[in-house]
Amino acid sequence: MKKVLVVDDEPAIVTLRIVNRKQASFDVESATNGADALSMIEKNHYDIVLLDLMLPEMSGEDVLKKLRLDRNDTPVIVLTAKDTEFDKVFGLEIGADDYVPKPFSPREVIARINAVLRRYEKSAATANQSDTKTEKGEVETTGPFTINYTQYKVTAHHQNLKLTPKEFELMQYLVGHENQVLSRDQLLQGVWGFDYSGQSRMVDIQIAHLREKIEPDPKNPKYLRTVRGFGYEFSTGDDDAE
């Protein structure tokens, strides 16, 4: 039975969700503020978290940011009354696995939970298959960049690049597909683990953030180039290696 943590400051809604989740064969626990939720997630194992953004004591946004900075990859579905494109992109950008605006039907939430869990299990299986590569080379160098897969660090010209967890994942994926033109849909699938039409803006935002940290001149990218009409290509080239 999958263990679910529901985090919402409206007790009636939490109770309703718990009832519906139990009917769906989930083991459900709840928290009504961000601080308690963070403590519970750090101390216990949950297969997935349903996280409202508008919480007392500590916002859902801060809870999610703290989890991802601590390399906690527990799947999180954001629940919020906000329903603008920016909010959706922002929620996914800071580490959410999916986004469900209120009001919503219990059936929809159950479907989203099952979809995220399937993606997570598939991603975990893929990661296990790639462990062999990591064991053979925990550190990889291309051009001026050195990627340490066990310490989650990227350096350039012997300087540590302060990447966020998602920026590191994006960098890792790009390095793994060096000299290949990747579409936004491919990046969504490969880095975020899903293919959401209309979320290409999220990819563009993360690309821009990564360029700020890896490019000598982000406005004229040397390594992470835009291929108009297709997507992006990461390449260091022999001349860039040091």
Domain holding 191, by residue range, is 137-240
Whether the per-residue pLDDT at 182 is higher than 70: the answer is: yes
Q: In the beta sheet, which residues pair with residue 30?
A: 6
**Residue 132 falls within a domain, yes or no?**
no
| 206 neighbors 167 (Cβ within 8 angstroms) | yes
pLDDT score of 22: 62
How many residues in the chain? Answer: 242
Tell me how many domains the chain contains: 2
Choose between 128 and 191: higher pLDDT.
Answer: 191
Per the confidence metrics, is the pTM higher than 0.75? Answer: no
Q: In the beta sheet, which residues pair with residue 78?
A: 51, 99
33: closest CA among 3, 13, 53?
53
Same domain, 121 and 142: no
Same domain, 7 and 113: yes
Whether the per-residue pLDDT at 89 is higher than 70: the answer is: no
Here the tokens at position 208 are 């821009």
Strands 231-234 and 2-7: unpaired
Q: What are the angstrom distances between the C-alpha of 37 and each of 10, 87, 110? A: 14, 21, 20
Here the tokens at position 218 are 């982000």
> In sequence order, what E strands does 87-136 have?
98-101
pLDDT score of 239: 44
Same domain, 56 and 145: no
Q: Mean of the pLDDT values across residues 68-88?
A: 76
